[in-house]
Amino acid sequence: MSTALHWLNYHHLLYFWTVAREGGVARAAERLHLTHPTVSGQVRELEQALGEKLFVRAGRGLELTEMGRVVYRYADEIFALGRELVDTVKGRPTGRPVRLVVGVDDVLPKLLVRRLLEPALRGPEPVHLVVHEAPVRELFGRLAQHALDVVLSDSPMLPGTRVKAYAHLLGECSVTWFAVESIQKRARRDFPRSLSSEPLLLPTEDTALRHALDPWFERQGIRPRIAAEIADSALMKAFGQNGHGIFPAPTAVERDVQREYGVRVVGRSKDLRERFWAISVERRIKNPAVAAISAVARDQLFAEP
Q: Which residue has the higher pLDDT, 155 or 92?
A: 155
Q: How far is CA 227 from CA 108, 121, 199, 238, in A?
A: 21, 38, 5, 14
pLDDT in tens, 176-191: 999 999 999 999 999 9
* Res 12 pLDDT > 80: yes
Tell me the domain boundaries of the chain: 10-89, 98-171+276-301, 173-274
* Average pLDDT of the segment spanning 105-114: 93
As a whole-number percent, the residues of the chain with pLDDT over 70 amount to 92
Cβ atoms of 296 and 119 within 8 Å: the answer is: yes
In whole angstroms, give the CA distance from residue 251 to residue 275: 11
Residue 92 has pLDDT above 70, yes or no: no
Flag whether pLDDT at 111 surpasses 80: yes
Q: What one-character DSSP code corresponds to residue 3?
A: -
At 257 the three-state DSSP class reads helix
Nearest to 32 by CA among 45, 41, 46, 22: 22
* Stretch 284-302: mean pLDDT: 87
- When mean pLDDT is compared across 80-94, 125-139, 218-232, the lowest value belongs to 80-94
pLDDT-derived band at 304 (thresholds 50, 70, 90) equals low
Distance CA 271, CA 274 (A): 10
Give the pLDDT confidence score for residue 91 in this predicted structure. Answer: 54
Query: Which class is 98-171+276-301 in CATH?
Result: alpha beta
Confidence of residue 286 (pLDDT cuts 50, 70, 90): confident
For 134-160, write each residue's pLDDT tens digit: 998 889 888 887 888 899 999 887 666
| Best-predicted range by mean pLDDT (53-67, 96-110, 116-130, 194-208) | 194-208
Quote the pLDDT of residue 5: 40
Per-residue pLDDT at 218 exceeds 90: yes
Mean pLDDT of the chain: 88
Of 264-268, 273-277, 289-293, the range with the lowest mean pLDDT is: 289-293
Would the CATH topology of 98-171+276-301 be identical to that of 173-274? Answer: yes
DSSP bridge partners of 61: 58
CATH top-level class of 173-274: alpha beta
How many Å apart are CA 297 and CA 278, to the nearest integer? 10
- With 90 as the cut, is the pLDDT of residue 8 above it? no
Q: Exposed, middle or buried: residue 89 (CB in 10 Å: 0-12, 13-18, 19+)?
A: exposed
Cβ burial of 293 (10 Å; 0-12, 13-18, 19+) is buried
Fold of 10-89: Arc Repressor Mutant, subunit A (1.10.10)
User: What average pLDDT score do residues 272-294 get?
Assistant: 88
Question: Which residues fall within 8 angstroms of residue 92, CB to CB, at 6 or more apart?
Answer: none
